Amino acid sequence: MQNLWRILSYIRKYRGFAILNVLFNMLTVAFSLFSVMMIVPFMQLLFGKIPMVMEAPQFSWTADSLFAYFKYYLSMEISQSGQLVALVKFCLVIALLFFLKNLFRFLALFFLAPIRSGAVREIRSDVYSKILSLPLSFYSKERKGDIIARISDDVREVEISIISFLEVTVREPLTIFIYLGALLMWSAELTAFVFVMLLVTGFIIGRVGKSLKRQSAEAQDISGRLISIVDETLGGLRIIHAFNAEEYMRDQFSKINRQLFGISVRMNSRRELSSPLTEFLAMCVVCAVLYYGGTLVLEKKTLQAETFIGFMVLFAQLIPPAKGFSNAFYNIRKGLASAQRIFEILDAPVVIEEKQEARAIQNFTREIEYHQVGFSYNNFDDKKILEGINLTISKGKLVALVGQSGAGKTTLVDLLPRFYDVSTGHIKIDGVDVRDYKLSDLRNLFGMVSQEAILFNDTVFNNIAFGLKNVTMEQVKEAATIANAHDFISKLSDGYQTVIGDRGNKLSGGERQRLTIARAVLANPPILILDEATSSLDSGSEKLVQDALTKLMRGRTTIVIAHRLSTIQYADEIMVMQDGKIAERGNHISLMAKSGIYKRLVELQAF
């Protein structure tokens, strides 16, 4: 139930609409009840089944007095207008009552719509904001497709659940209780019997739907795996075709799809059981009420036949809301499973936190210092990725990190903008621990150009100006010119307004990389991180990109992660990393003189 209350907390700001929804639902039920209750006494009076009431009864606010006064009004109308005219007037009144009933029903749904859409918007926004704030380590343990499923499919299930809950707690119970109150006016004994029977059927329905929440959670998990396969397929189509792996991927997809089919059949079968089961149980209750009411009429003589008929007419009106109640109950069970999956993201710890009194930093003035830095991901095991790192990078210096894959080079630089936090030791910028700075200020110090050009399905202009406000076209063109990108951009169909496709797939590798360099130029950061920025390019593209990088690095503190050692021979200091430690350090000449790891790496590449 805790998850249900958390979901409902999202509709607090829409409580005005909720009040109007309740009001119009009450009017809907009232007009529905009144229209039904009018029919039996009118027909009895019209066809002479009961005597006309020609004298006004003494009025009081009791059920018997109100009912007697109603009969008196009908009797006077029949006697004064005649039976046929009274029948016409009665039909018009009934039509008006049903019109008003459905008008109020529409208004109830009209004011429910902003509650439904607003709550879903708030949930989806919270989930997306949390996705942005969670550390990168969270996504090393989660499937991307499953996260997409949670913000799409699971939120949709919660939307259905919210509507079901509002109907369950407002319209359907309101209908049931008002009709039970009306039935109580006809026969308290028979109403008590009906109430007991409804409790029994409710218990049976609850037992049937008990496992629906578990099955729904399992179905959503499988759905997430299915989306993951589709995402991997779209991202890896080139490799799939190159290795003739279409059949393998098709088998993988079919396997998960069959699992989803099986659980969906079981889950939907159980959910769809609610309507026929409710109807069958309702008819069992009707039969029981008919029998019990019949004994009150025929044997005990405590109930009049016409009263019993009116009672049964009203009782029949309880079946539709009872069916709606059971359907909503099943939807709630299903929605709560999705809510649990959503709250797993919302409740995930944000380990990269900003201190309440964090310090501002606008520029980098002196040095970066790593002191006894150690790091481990703490997800699959406690393997140490970095251990005992001591490193000082002075302003304006070019420092290169080299070593085999998995040596910890990328992790070392990822600790600077706090993509991760150190496990031991500390990192200081200008003498202050990076954890003491405002996170946005800290990250504004860095510009990154990585091996994979991260671009978005947007225009060239928006990709270069990414994350910045009030950027002019002149500034973007200037950044593109420095990055050797202006010429090829100008030749695109719409120039800087050309949409470059998913991950920039309409551009070549060199063109994509030059756009990321232009983005870094425009951001104008004091510290630059180059993570193997040219390693995946051909010689022609590499020359253009390397020239752009040389312009970008001018006057900046730069940390370069390099596989091609020829590109960092003029670095002020080179760190050779091995097994998470700095194995060698020095400039190119001194490291070559040592005849150690670095020299072997250079000789291997030269060969």
Question: Domain containing 257: what range?
Answer: 2-346
Tell me the backbone φ, ψ of residue 459, rounded to 5 degrees. Answer: -75, 165
Helix (H) or strand (E) holding 252: helix 246-272
How far, in Å, CA of 418 to CA of 167, rounded?
47
Tens-digit pLDDT profile for residues 93-104: 888 888 898 899
Whether 26 is in a domain gets the answer: yes
In this predicted structure, the answer to whether residue 165 has a pLDDT above a threshold of 70 is: yes
Whether 587 is in a domain gets the answer: no
CA 305 to each of CA 46, 153, 258, 295, 302: distance values in angstroms, whole numbers, following the listed order: 17, 53, 58, 11, 10
Whether 37 is in a domain gets the answer: yes
Tens-digit pLDDT profile for residues 296-324: 777 777 777 766 776 777 777 777 776 66
Range with lowest mean pLDDT among 129-138, 183-192, 357-366: 183-192
- Taking residues 59-76, report their average pLDDT: 68
Question: Which of 287, 318, 346 is the endpoint of a domain?
Answer: 346
Amino acid 602: pLDDT: 83
- Taking residues 229-248, report their average pLDDT: 75
Amino acid 372: pLDDT: 94
Q: How confident is the model at residue 107 (pLDDT cuts 50, 70, 90)?
A: very high
Higher per-residue pLDDT: 224 or 18: 18
- Taking residues 442-453, report their average pLDDT: 85
Whether 287 is in a domain gets the answer: yes
Amino acid 401: pLDDT: 92
Q: Beta strands of 395-455 (E only): which ranges? A: 398-402, 424-429, 432-433, 446-450
* 3-state SS, residue 448: strand
DSSP state of 59: P
- In terms of average pLDDT, the best of 174-183, 341-350, 540-549 is 341-350
In this predicted structure, the answer to whether residue 207 has a pLDDT above a threshold of 90 is: no
Question: Are 315 and 179 in a shared domain?
Answer: yes
Question: Are 120 and 257 in a shared domain?
Answer: yes
DSSP state of 150: I
Task: Report the CATH number at residue 95.
Answer: 1.20.1560.10
In this predicted structure, the answer to whether residue 267 has a pLDDT above a threshold of 60 is: yes
Range with lowest mean pLDDT among 28-42, 349-363, 512-526: 28-42
How far, in Å, CA of 544 to CA of 118, rounded?
50
Q: How far is CA 587 from the centre of its chain?
A: 51
Whether 433 is in a domain gets the answer: no
Q: Beta strands of 92-241 (E only): which ranges? A: none
DSSP state of 48: T
Question: Which of 277, 311, 346 is the endpoint of a domain?
Answer: 346
Question: Are 464 and 342 in a shared domain?
Answer: no
Amino acid 274: pLDDT: 63
Tell me the pairing of strands 557-561 and 573-578. Answer: unpaired
pTM of the predicted model, to two decimals?
0.72
Whether 72 is in a domain gets the answer: yes
Q: Which two tokens stand for residue 504?
A: 């920039």
| Other CB atoms within 10 Å distance of the CB of residue 322 | 22
How far, in Å, CA of 45 to CA of 396, rounded?
101
The count of domains in the chain is 2
- Taking residues 182-195, report their average pLDDT: 77
Tens-digit pLDDT profile for residues 356-379: 889 999 889 999 999 999 998 765
In this predicted structure, the answer to whether residue 531 has a pLDDT above a threshold of 70 is: yes
- Taking residues 466-491, report their average pLDDT: 89
Cβ contact 442:563 at 8 Å: no
Q: Which two tokens stand for residue 11?
A: 């509709």
Question: Which of 346, 372, 396 is the endpoint of a domain?
Answer: 346
Q: Where on the phi/psi map is residue 217: left (φ > 0), alpha (ψ -120 to 50), or beta?
A: alpha
Percent of the chain having pLDDT more than 90? 14
* 3-state SS, residue 259: helix
- Taking residues 580-593, report their average pLDDT: 90
Whether 392 is in a domain gets the answer: no
How far, in Å, CA of 300 to CA of 209, rounded?
40
Query: Which candidate, 14, 220, 1, places its Cα nearest to that of 116?
Result: 14
Whether 139 is in a domain gets the answer: yes
